[in-house]
Chains A and B, each alone.
Chain A
Amino acid sequence: MAAITVLTPTGTLGYGFGDDALARGMSLGPAVIAVDAGSTDPGPHYLGSGKPLVSDVSIKRELTALIRAGRAAGIPVIVGSVGGAGSGVQVERTARLVREIAREQGLNFRLATIRSDIPIERAERAVAAGEIVDFEAGAPLTKELLDETVTLVAQMGHEPICAALDGGAEVIIAGRACDDSVIAAFPIWRGADPALAIHMGKILECGAFSAEPFAMDVMLGTVEEDSFLLEPGSTARRASVKSVAAHSLYERENPFKQSGPGHEIDLSGCSFEQVGERQVRVRGATLTETADYYVKLEGARLAGYRSIAIAGIRCPTTIRALDAILDDVRRKALDYFAPAPIAVAFHVYGGNGVMKELEPDTTPQREIGLVIEVTAADQELAHAACHQISGAMLHYHYPGIINTSGNLAFPYSPSDLDLGPVYEFSAYHLMKVDTPTELFPVRYEDL
C-alpha cells in the first residue's frame, strides 16, 4: 500500500491556522485535507438552536483557503460536524458558503453534503424495539425525552464519507461525524488499515494540539503499512513522543480503549517513536468490529428561556451573610412565582462559582462577583423573576447590616439581561442500525 498523507489544518474549522503552515503542509503532497468543525464540547446550544458555533466570516475565510489549496492540488476537502453540531440547518448553512466560494473563486467541483439528522420517529421505533442503550447520560432514553427533543443527530462513521468519495465528491460537507472518522475516511477508502487510520484520526482531529508548542494549526499524518507518522505543518513546532502521548489522553476517559461507530480500538499495545526532531511514528493500534453497529445519538431539548443579572459585592458584612441571603431570596422568588416553575442558580465568583459543590476551599473573599441566573418557560417570566431576585437582593436587610443603601454593585443598566432560549442535552445514547450508511444520505451538486 502506498503511503497516504492527511493534512488537518486546525483543531476546529474557524479557529484558525497559519498560512505558511498550510503552504508548507501542501508542499509535502497530502492526498486529502480533512478537518473537524464541531463537538458537544461548546455545550448543547448549537445543537438545539441550529446557530453556528463559529461565524460565517471565519468559516468562509478558512474554507476558501482550504478549497483553493485542495483544488490546486487536485485533492478532496472533507469537513465533518459542520456548524458545530452537524445538524441539517448547519449543513445547509455551510453548503451555502461553499457555493459562494465556488462562484467567487471561479472554481468547479463536485460538492457532497451528508445529513446526519435522525427523525424522532426513527429513534422512537428504536426505543420501542429495545435497540437503544445508554452511553453516559445515566438514564434510559424515553419516548417522552424524544418528544421534547428539538434536534437529534447521530455521529456517522467513515462509511458515509467513503460513499461520497465513491460518488466522486471533491468537497464533502458532512453533518455530525465521529471526529476520528472524518480524518480516517480517506485513508480507509484508499485501503489503509482502519485501526491505524482511526488512531491517527484521533490524534489529528485536534490539529497541532498534539505538537509542541501546541496551537490551532496544521498537522499532517501519513499512514503507511504498519504505522503512521505525524508531523506539524509549521517548522516552528515539533511532534515529540511526549506531546503525542499526552494528547492521546485528551478529552477522553479511557486511554486504552476507544469505541466508535461499529468498532472498538485497543491502544494498549501502542508505541511511539521519535523520528528526527519533528516527527513521531506510532504503531500498535488494533481494531475489533462490534457484533452490532451502533451510532451515538446526540439530542437537545428546549429547557426554557434564561435571564441573568451580574453584580459585584464588596461589603464584608454582606459577603459573610451571603449564603443565607441567597437561600432566602431564592425561596421567596419560588413562592412569589408559584405555581409557575422557575429554576434559579447563583454563580458566586470569588466563592464557588466555578466548581460549586466540588469546591473545597472556603477562604473568605474580599470581593464577590455574582451571576444570578433564572430559567423559566418563557423569556418574560425569566426576566421578571431575575429582576425580582436582583431587586430583592439589592435591598435585602440582614442581621448586622452596616450599609443600608444597597447590597449589589451593578455594572450595567439594565441590570437584567435576557439570554434567550436555553437547551439541554436530552439524548446521549447509542442506537443500533442495520447498515453504517442508512441514516446518512449523501447529496451531490456539481458547482
Chain B
Amino acid sequence: MTTRPLKDLADIVRSKNAGPYRITFDILFKDKDRYEAVRATGAISAESVARAYGIDVSQVSSFFEIDMANAIKITIRRPRAQGSSGDGDMYGCQHHVPLMLIAVPVG
C-alpha cells in the first residue's frame, strides 16, 4: 500500500494555542470527498498524533471530526505552559510539522 503525507491531502494543517496550557491542531480539507477519504483511513487519530509527537495518548485532550467544516481537530496539553521557562513557541503556531508528515494510506 502506498502512503502520502497528510500535507499532500489537506488544504490547511495548523497549530495554535488554545489558552496557555494547550495547543490545538486543525486539519482542513478542500472538500467533503477528501475529508471523508482521509477520515476513512483512520490514519489521523489521537493515537497516531501522540505517536508523531512522542507523547502519551493521555496528553491528547480531545479529538473531533467536524463534518460541517470538513475538518479534523486535535488538542494536546503543552509540556510546559506558554511563556514559562524553556517554552520555545509563545503562540504555539509552529508545532504542526510532525502532524503534517503523518503517512496516510492512499489507493
Chain A residues close to B by CB (< 8 Å):
40-45, 135-138, 242, 245-246, 248-256, 270-272, 303, 343, 345, 347, 353-361, 373, 375, 422-425, 428
Contact = CB atoms under 8 A, between A and B. Distances in A.
Interface string B19-63: 111101010100000000000000000000000111100000110
Chain B contact residues (Cβ within 8 angstroms of A): what range? 35 or more
Given A136-B22, A271-B68, A303-B84, 13 more contacts: A40-B82, A41-B17, A43-B83, A246-B71, A250-B16, A250-B26, A251-B24, A254-B62, A353-B88, A355-B53, A355-B89, A360-B52, A422-B85
Given A43-B90, A245-B69, A358 B55 contact: yes
A249 B25 CA distance: 9
Contacts of B84: 303, 424-425
23 contacts: A40-B17, A42-B90, A136-B21, A138-B21, A242-B28, A246-B26, A251-B18, A251-B24, A253-B18, A253-B22, A253-B24, A253-B62, A255-B71, A303-B85, A343-B86, A358-B53, A358-B54, A358-B95, A361-B97, A361-B98, A424-B83, A425-B81, A428-B21
Interface in B64-90: 64, 66, 68-71, 73, 75, 77, 79-86, 88-90
B20 A357 contact: no
A301 to B, nearest CB: 11
A119 to B, nearest CB: 23
Contacts of B82: 40, 43-44, 425
Given A353-B88, A360-B54, A255 B69 contact: yes
Given A43-B82, A254-B64, A354 B69 contact: no
A251 B17 contact: yes
Contacts of B89: 354-355
Contacts of A246: 12, 26, 28, 69, 71
A253 B61 contact: yes
Nearest 9 A/B pairs, CB to CB: A345-B86, A43-B83, A245-B69, A253-B18, A253-B75, A343-B85, A136-B21, A358-B53, A44-B83
The A contact surface, by secondary structure, is loop
Interface of B: 12, 16-22, 24, 26, 28, 52-55, 61-62, 64, 66, 68-71, 73, 75, 77, 79-86, 88-91, 94-95, 97-98
A45 B70 CA distance: 37
A348 B82 CA distance: 18
B68 A272 contact: yes
Nearest to A343: B85
A357 B79 contact: yes
Contacts of B75: 253
B61 A354 contact: no
A38 to B, nearest CB: 14
Contacts of A138: 21, 77
A248 B17 CA distance: 15
B10 to A, nearest CB: 12
B20 A40 contact: yes
A326 to B, nearest CB: 12
A63 to B, nearest CB: 25
Nearest to B20: A425
B78 to A, nearest CB: 9
A323 B90 CA distance: 24
Contacts of A45: 83
Nearest to A371: B88
A360 B53 contact: yes
A242 B12 CA distance: 12
A347 B80 CA distance: 14
A68 B73 CA distance: 41
B46 to A, nearest CB: 13
Contact of A355 (B24, B61, B85, B95): B95
A381 to B, nearest CB: 15
A355 to B, nearest CB: 6
A186 B54 CA distance: 47
B83 A423 contact: yes
Contacts of B53: 355, 358, 360
Most buried by B among A255, A345, A356: A255
B91 A41 contact: yes
Given A249-B69, A425-B83, A354 B88 contact: yes
A353 B94 CA distance: 11
A356 B22 CA distance: 15
A422 B81 CA distance: 14
A38 B50 CA distance: 32
A43 B20 CA distance: 8
A237 B74 CA distance: 29
Given A253-B24, A345-B86, A425-B83, A40 B64 contact: no
A255 B65 CA distance: 9
Given A137-B21, A358-B53, A270 B68 contact: yes
Contacts of B12: 246
B7 to A, nearest CB: 15
A396 to B, nearest CB: 21
B19 A255 contact: no
